[in-house]
Amino acid sequence: MSERQPTPEERFRLLAGVALADGVLSPGETQLLLEFACKLELGRQSAGRILNQLRIDGRVRIDPGAGVDEGVFADLIQVVFADGRASACEMSYLRSLAKHCGFARGRVDELLADAVISTATGQPSASGRQGRPPRQIGNYELGQELGRGAAGVVYHATHRLLGREVALKLFPICKKSGEARRAGFLREVRAAAKLSHPNILPTLDAGEAEGLPYLVMELVPQGETFQHRVERDGPFESRAAALAIAAVARAVHYAHGEGLLHRDLKPGNVLVPADGKPRLGDFGLVSEVGEAATRGRLVGTPAYMSPEQLRTEDLDTKSDIYSLGATLYTLLTGEPPFLADGLVELSVRVLQDEPEPPSRRRPDVRAGVEAACMRCLAKDPAQRPSALELADALEGAAEDSLMGKISRRFRRKHV
């Protein structure tokens, strides 16, 4: 890493870039950026020019020669959590920058974990050491971090009295965004209480300790997400992908029947335990069907959002179907239907372009599976299937694929 420190303009550009990573500049982020502009002795005119340019570009170009040390990175994290939460886009930007600058992933996770806890409590982390979460929440002893997202951080935890191992999700709450964050926590808890399905991750407990709301879920033994599996092993075989998404679609159909929209369906939110049965989790952005909970607000993971979700319109069940289709597309090809460097460019592609059929990327993708996937990705929600129709179509395509394999093997053996 170069020892040259970034200039005030370069530093402000990095700070503003992480704030704009999700395409939105919140009031808390705006105030904090103004404070940083003053500290950096950067005039309002220069700060405004940089912000406007970033809005136009839709991305931040990192100068490889500008050194970004832990002090600069800590400032970036402070901006990300200015309103008590970090969006998926902002988290992705931070990790990309950390990788670009050569930071060890473990150290980045420590800095981020400390930010979540200090933001939630208004104090350094409960352990008194930077980068460490509190060791105990209610009756639970916290272990290693399992994952994180916009809604909170998930830890491996153990019930102190029962000795039961669980997954515990902490929700950061702060003064600036306390009511909104608490409402999100209550939404997820109430949704979890309504749902009982073999393909939905069970919720065991919920509460609040030291001002930190938490949700306790079943710990999936030897589990990994679809995303991790694709990253490690590459795309799924057609039949395996079809059966996996069919199982998730049945869980989504059940949730829709209970009057709930997931709003953040993606490969990273589906766990696969050792028994191979997918479990849908993370209902942190759940809303009721027909609830005007999204108009004017961008919520979710952009690469898996439906066109209407990117337009911040009111959503119905067909928005979840698009996300299921995008998840299936990732399992089949290794990537979501659309990729871009910034949110603006990605949004334009999702809204205007037609996705490339998966078979063009992988010729062995079965026609029936591809047809079901492409129907989910229709721009017009009315052209998408229901979750139940999708499950039936994928299971039918998987059965056809299996029978085709048996037939081909029989012919080879007897010719």
Return phi, psi of residue 279, to 5°. Answer: -125, 120
d(Cα 108, Cα 91) in Å, to the nearest integer? 11
DSSP string for 101-165: HT--HHHHHHHHHHHHHHHHHSSS-TTSSTT---SEETTEEEEEEEEE-SS-EEEEEEETTT--E
Cβ atoms of 251 and 159 closer than 8 Å: no
Catalytic residue among 22, 264, 282, 320: 264
**Per-residue DSSP letter, 175:** T
Dihedral sign (CA 197, 198, 199, 205)? positive
**At a CB cut-off of 8 Å and minimum separation 6, what does 144 contact?**
155, 156
For 291-296, the CB contacts below 8 A with 24+ separation are 294/263
Within 10 A of 401 (CB to CB), how many other CB atoms are there?
19
> How many residues in total does the chain contain?
415
Cβ atoms of 10 and 46 closer than 8 Å: no
Half-sphere exposure of 162 (CA within 13 A, CB side): 8
d(Cα 336, Cα 231) in Å, to the nearest integer? 12
Return phi, psi of residue 356, to 5°. Answer: -70, 130
Cβ atoms of 302 and 346 closer than 8 Å: yes
Dihedral sign (CA 127, 132, 134, 139)? negative
Of 277, 297, 267, 274, nearest to 285 (Cα)?
Answer: 297
| Token pair in block for residue 238 | 């057609």
Cβ atoms of 246 and 390 closer than 8 Å: yes
Annotation marks residue 316 as catalytic: no
Cβ atoms of 72 and 79 closer than 8 Å: no
Tokens 């065991």 belong to which residue?
A: 204
Of 323, 305, 285, nearest to 180 (Cα)?
Answer: 285
Q: Which residues are catalytic?
A: 264
